[in-house]
């Protein structure tokens, strides 16, 4: 892995991000978990990947078993994987959006699909704290997006 690009993307994402609090979602042993974490965990749970359509490298939340084990210490059960997969199959939304909806509703809030940039606000605010919500396979940012945001 190219650690200089990896660190560059994480550092600059953090500089631009409205919040440094996250709710990560992942499947482990047929269960969907939600883990609360802050930006300090990003280097340990993100992966450097090739972005699509010539956008350079990207950082993604694509946790392997060890990364899931790290997060599970900060996690709680959201639902079974079967229930989650059924919700995704029955919806027009993707897995990340369904996870965001379920987390929002778990906190007693009404979810609405939006496109608020990560530089402007989090996906949810709980007890005055804004959180970005990311489900496994989520992209945080790629080099092309970063260059555009820094211009």
How would you write the pLDDT of the chain (151 residues) with one tens digit per residue? Answer: 789 999 999 999 999 999 999 999 999 999 999 999 999 999 999 999 999 888 999 999 999 999 999 999 999 999 999 999 999 999 999 999 999 999 999 999 999 998 999 999 999 999 999 999 999 999 999 999 999 999 8
Other C-beta atoms closer than 10 Å to the C-beta of 84 total: 21
Quick one: angle between helices 3-16 and 143-150, nearest 10? Answer: 40
Task: Please give the model's pTM, rounded to 2 decimal places.
Answer: 0.95
Q: How distant, in Å, are the alpha carbons of 21, 60, 149 from that of 5?
A: 22, 13, 17
């Amino acid at each position: 892995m190219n650690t200089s690009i990896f660190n560059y993307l994480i550092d600059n994402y953090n500089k631009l991000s409205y919040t440094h609090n996250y709710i990560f979602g992942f499947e482990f042993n047929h269960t969907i978990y939600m883990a609360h974490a802050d930006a300090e965990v990003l280097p340990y749970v993100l992966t450097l990947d090739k972005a699509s359509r010539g956008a350079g490298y990207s950082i993604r939340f694509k946790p392997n078993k060890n990364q899931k084990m790290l997060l599970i210490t900060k996690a709680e059960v959201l639902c079974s994987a079967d229930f989650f997969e059924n919700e995704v199959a029955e919806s027009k939304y993707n897995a990340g959006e369904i996870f965001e909806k379920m987390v929002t509703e778990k906190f007693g809030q009404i979810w609405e699909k939006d496109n608020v940039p990560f530089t402007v606000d989090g996906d949810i605010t709980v007890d005055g704290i804004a959180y970005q919500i990311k489900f496994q396979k989520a992209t945080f940012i790629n080099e092309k997006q970063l260059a555009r945001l820094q211009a």
